[in-house]
Amino acid sequence: MSSDSCAGSIEEGDALMDNERRKFLKIAGISALAGIGAPAIAKLTTTAAYAAPQHEEAAKAAEAGAEEDAVSGKQYGMVIDMRKFIEQPELLDQAIAACALAHNVPEFPPDKQKSEIKWIWKTPFENAFTEESFTHLAKNIEEAEFPVLCNHCAHPSCVRVCPTKATFKQKDNGIVAMDYHRCIGCRFCMAACPYGARSFNWEDPRPYVKTYNPNFPTRMRGVVEKCNFCGERLALGQQPACVEACKGSGAMVFGDINDEKSEVRQVLAKEFTIQRKPSAGTKPSVFYIV
Amino acid sequence: MIEKILKGKSAYWIWLAFLVVFIAIGAACYVRQYLFGLALTGMSRNVSWGLYISQFTFLVGVAAGGLMLVLPYYIHDYKAFGKLTILGEFLAIAAIIMCLMFIMADLGQPLRGLNMIIHPTPNSMLFWDMVVLLGYLSLNVLCGWVILTAERKEVSPPKWIYFFVYTSIPFAVSIHTVTAMLYCGLPGRHSWLSAIIAPRFLASAFAAGPALIVLACLVMKRVAHFDAGKKALDKLSTIIMYAAIINTFFVILEFFVGYYSNVPGEVHTLQYLFFGLTEHGHVYNNLVPFMWTSVFLNFAGLGLFAYLKFKEGTDVMLGAACIMIFLALWIDKGLGFVLGGFVPTMLGDVVEYYPTANEIGITVGIWATGFFLVTILYKIAVGVEHEIE
């Protein structure tokens, strides 16, 4: 507004000034609202734009009569052979230790178990498979410790509920990944995960990291974390740390479960496997030979 | 109109000072939590939401409860609520601000809160909850202020405001529906995975919100010469009764589905909440006394309301009935619903949650802030009322 017009309105009296000011406040208010809302609207519309072709693809796949969801791209997965783990229980300890070292997973003292962080851990059959019958369980299964970890589901409920896309499904390999820098720590994903695979940094985890590994970031407090299928190692052409720790035993087989020729698919074709909580509809990518 | 909050009797100032003490305690507790982290709470990876989110859930209902005044007055032209709609709107403002405070208290990284807007995610119900809560808050601020200003000038409110008043009606329903959807869309949490959650939330909201408004009216009758009118209070108590009965009916239905079907997932949480769950020889039952208190207060409150329908009662009796219903629903939704949903854990264990003193301090501080807001907002509303008399 030029100084001239300002002076003019003052001369015309207070009432007009009031009106002008009111108008200005209205416009300022609306612009402020628009300013806050604009990024959200811009983001939403652009998402819709690039989502459209995907919908077309899906529609084509449906037309082709595909019974299952259109299988596209890689989906890393794992077969856990409990026969091997029961034979050699020390393998699982090695796998857990390798994971903790690879990812700076903290270990809290017994009086701070409330803050514990778990990526892969041991649990009895009845806890791993809450939907299976365990009334008259075979002795060796009853005493066994099962490894449990993130299932990197095909339809992850944690990703569905995350309000910031801080947890997301990687398009090129199906890994359910975390962006520690975007997570606001609302813990909606922890309520949503049917496998209890997620942990929250209730306090600064760094003092409790046993051996610091400079190749992987430590986390700050206030964010959620979980198994990442060693995305950082896969990028270097290595196997996940837990799988490598059991190398040669065949206790853990890792690979692309969408690739018929992969080792993991050949094991799946040969052995009867079970998944955790199939009724949750999440399509877990971790399979167990019991 | 804001100047009205600056003039009051000594009782008014003592009450505000009393609340400020708790607000200060809450703020100090929050600083501690902010500096150290949420490890200062009783939450863990097994019970990952605690008092904050359960209070949030309950208060969304209190906010939505204002609908029971706005709807009869604006849609059905029920004149007796004329003086009261503003109380419903102002209560909604305070309740939603409390909701937002509880959410902020619960966030691990509160400074990143704006990520919800920078990275909007429509598939997350939390995103939609933010949208409807902020929308409902703005609508109530706008409608409350414009209508009260008109009332003060003794003119009828501008026509355009009715558009926003009518919009606020579906918004009130939506805030509690979307809040229910935070819970009832999660696979694996059996006690939440029920299509009856949203209607149950609404029913309890339509009892708890009006109960608080009746209480406020009774208090203001004594301390501020504000008379809501017998007709209005009678109608409100009828509304509270029906809503509380419908809520009770829904809870009984949950019991039937659980115990008759005998599906473990449907039974476990109810068993834990009302009778205690035994695991490895240990009985976990820390919420049992609360839940039975809730049941008792619910039926006693309903009984008292029923008595007041047949016999002439006193204000104290009406107030007592409202307190009973309000507390019963606070325990039911503000404790049992959220905390019970985490039992058993996703791996079938039972882990109990005990809030810490620091966490309770923050919770009380936010409640005190809410009472503070309600007090000053109602001071304005009643002040305007007296001015035009």
Mapping DSSP onto H, E and C, the string for chain A reads CCHHHHHHHHHCCHHHHHHHHHHHHHHHHHHHHHHHHHHHHHHHHHHHHHHHHHHHHHHHHHHCCCCCCCCCCCCEEEEEEHHHHHHCCHHHHHHHHHHHHHHCCCCCCHHHHHHCCCCCEEECHHHHCCCCCCCCCCHHHHHCCEEECCCCCCCCHHHHHCCCCCEEECCCCCCEEECCCCCCCCCHHHHHCCCCCCEECCCCCHHHCCCCCCCCCCCCCCCEECCCCCHHHHCCCCCCHHHHHCCCCCCEEEEECCCCCCHHHHHHHHCCCECCCHHHCCCCCEEEEC
Looking at the domain assignment, is residue B205 inside a domain?
no
- Closest-CA distance, A7 to chain B, in angstroms, reads 31
Which residues does chain A have within 8 Å of residue B41's beta carbon, measured at their own beta carbons?
Answer: 202
Looking at the domain assignment, is residue A118 inside a domain?
yes
CA-based end-to-end distance of chain B:
16
End of a domain among A63, A91, A110? A63
Residue A183 touches partner B, C-beta closer than 8 Å: yes
Could you tell me if B60 and B161 lie in one domain? yes
Could you tell me if B38 and B134 lie in one domain? yes
Could you tell me if B35 and B62 lie in one domain? yes
- Give residue B196's pLDDT: 95
Could you tell me if B228 and B302 lie in one domain? yes
Looking at the domain assignment, is residue A123 inside a domain?
yes
- CA B98 to chain CA mean position, Å: 9
Could you tell me if B217 and B319 lie in one domain? yes
HEC readout, B322-381:
HHHHHHHHHHHHHHHHHHHCCCCCCCCCCCCCCCCHHHHHHHHHHHHHHHHHHHHHHHHH
Could you tell me if A58 and A128 lie in one domain? no
- Give residue A46's pLDDT: 53
Q: Chain A, 186-205: which have a CB under 8 Å from a chain B CB? A: 186-188, 190-196, 198-204
Tokens of B178: 């979307």
Residue B280 touches partner A, C-beta closer than 8 Å: no
Determine how β-strand A146-148 pairs with β-strand A121-123.
antiparallel
CB contact under 8 A, B120 and A40: yes
Looking at the domain assignment, is residue B315 inside a domain?
yes
Query: Max alpha carbon distance in chain A (Å)?
Result: 96
- Closest-CA distance, B159 to chain A, in angstroms, reads 18
Short-list B296, B205, B195, CA closest to B253: B195
- Closest-CA distance, A117 to chain B, in angstroms, reads 8
Tokens of A20: 């002008």
B129: closest chain A residue by CA: A163
Tens digit of each residue's pLDDT (9 = 90 or more) over A21-62: 666 666 666 665 555 555 555 555 554 444 444 444 444 444
Positions of chain B with pLDDT under 50: none
Looking at the domain assignment, is residue B192 inside a domain?
no
Looking at the domain assignment, is residue A200 inside a domain?
yes
CB contact under 8 A, B127 and A163: yes
Unique residue bearing structure tokens 């964010």: A223
State the Cα–Cα distance between residues B202 and B71, nearest whole angstrom. 14
> Exposed/middle/buried for B91, CB within 10 Å: 0-12, 13-18, 19+?
buried
- Identify residue B200 by its one-letter amino acid code: R
Could you tell me if B145 and B13 lie in one domain? yes
Short-list B296, B317, B295, B315, CA closest to B306: B317
CATH number at residue A285: 3.30.70.20
Interface test with A, best of B41, B104, B124 (most A CBs within 10 A): B124
Tokens of B217: 């009216």
- Closest-CA distance, B131 to chain A, in angstroms, reads 10
Could you tell me if A56 and A93 lie in one domain? no
Tens digit of each residue's pLDDT (9 = 90 or more) over B4-52: 888 888 899 999 999 999 999 999 999 999 999 999 999 999 999 999 9
- Closest-CA distance, A107 to chain B, in angstroms, reads 14
Looking at the domain assignment, is residue B202 inside a domain?
no
Q: How confident is the model at residue A7 (pLDDT cuts 50, 70, 90)?
A: very low
Looking at the domain assignment, is residue A68 inside a domain?
no
Q: Which residue range forms the structural domain that includes residue B328?
A: 213-353
CA Rg, chain A, in Å? 26
Could you tell me if A96 and A230 lie in one domain? yes
Partner residue opposite A191 with nearest CB, options B49, B113, B116? B49
Tens digit of each residue's pLDDT (9 = 90 or more) over A151-165: 999 999 999 999 999
Looking at the domain assignment, is residue B207 inside a domain?
no
CB contact under 8 A, B188 and A116: no
Looking at the domain assignment, is residue A69 inside a domain?
no
Q: Chain B, 85-114: which have a CB under 8 Å from a chain A CB? A: 103, 106-110, 112-113
Q: A185 — alpha (psi -120 to 50), left (phi > 0) or beta?
A: left
Pick B23 or A5 by higher pLDDT: B23
Could you tell me if A178 and A57 lie in one domain? no
- Give residue A13's pLDDT: 46
> Exposed/middle/buried for B63, CB within 10 Å: 0-12, 13-18, 19+?
buried
Could you tell me if A26 and A145 lie in one domain? no
State the Cα–Cα distance between residues B113 and B100, nearest whole angstrom. 11
Could you tell me if A53 and A172 lie in one domain? no
CA-based end-to-end distance of chain A:
78
State the Cα–Cα distance between residues B310 and A33, nearest whole angstrom. 52
Interface test with A, best of B104, B109, B181 (most A CBs within 10 A): B109
State the Cα–Cα distance between residues B169 and B155, nearest whole angstrom. 24
Partner residue opposite A164 with nearest CB, options B108, B115, B185? B115
Average pLDDT, integer, range A117-125: 96
Looking at the domain assignment, is residue A70 inside a domain?
no
Q: Cα angle vertex A81, ends A79, A82, to 5°?
A: 135
Short-list B120, B129, B113, CA closest to B64: B129
A121: which strand partners?
Answer: A148
Looking at the domain assignment, is residue B303 inside a domain?
yes
Domain count, chain B: 2
Could you tell me if B347 and B223 lie in one domain? yes
Q: What are the angstrom distances between the C-alpha of B278 and each of A135, B96, B215?
A: 17, 38, 40
Looking at the domain assignment, is residue B55 inside a domain?
yes
Could you tell me if A37 and A168 lie in one domain? no
ipTM over 0.90: yes
Residue B40 CB partners (closer than 8 Å, separation 6+): B32, B33, B356, B358, B359
Residue A151 touches partner B, C-beta closer than 8 Å: no
Looking at the domain assignment, is residue B248 inside a domain?
yes
Could you tell me if B367 and B328 lie in one domain? no
Q: What three-state secondary structure class fits B33?
A: helix
Could you tell me if A203 and A86 lie in one domain? yes
Could you tell me if B122 and B152 lie in one domain? yes
Q: What are the angstrom distances between the C-alpha of B171 and each of B71, B134, B175, B384?
A: 12, 10, 6, 27
- Give residue A72's pLDDT: 65
Domain count, chain A: 2
Could you tell me if A39 and A104 lie in one domain? no
Ramachandran angles phi, psi of A176, nearest 5°: -85, 110
B352: closest chain A residue by CA: A114
Cβ atoms < 10 Å from Cβ of B146: 16
Q: Which residue range forms the structural domain that includes residue A235?
A: 76-289
Could you tell me if B344 and B378 lie in one domain? no
Could you tell me if B382 and B360 lie in one domain? yes
Q: DSSP readout, B266-281?
A: HHHHHHHHHT-EEETT
Could you tell me if B46 and B169 lie in one domain? yes
pTM of the model: 0.88
Task: With beta carbons less than 8 A apart as the criterion, state whether A120 and A227 touch.
Answer: yes
Could you tell me if A46 and A89 lie in one domain? no
Partner residue opposite A191 with nearest CB, options B38, B109, B186? B186
Angle formed by the axes of helices B85-106 and B125-152, to 10°? 150
- Give residue A29's pLDDT: 60
Interface test with B, best of A184, A189, A224 (most B CBs within 10 A): A184
DSSP state of B156: P
Could you tell me if A39 and A81 lie in one domain? no
CB contact under 8 A, B37 and A221: yes
Interface test with B, best of A111, A187, A276, A279 (most B CBs within 10 A): A187
Which residues does chain B have within 8 Å of residue A167's beta carbon, measured at their own beta carbons?
Answer: none
Q: What three-state secondary structure class fits B283?
A: strand
State the Cα–Cα distance between residues A283 and A271, nearest whole angstrom. 18
Could you tell me if A32 and A111 lie in one domain? no
Residue A160 touches partner B, C-beta closer than 8 Å: yes
Strands (E), chain B: 277-279, 282-284
Task: With beta carbons less than 8 A apart as the criterion, state whether A57 and A171 touch.
Answer: no
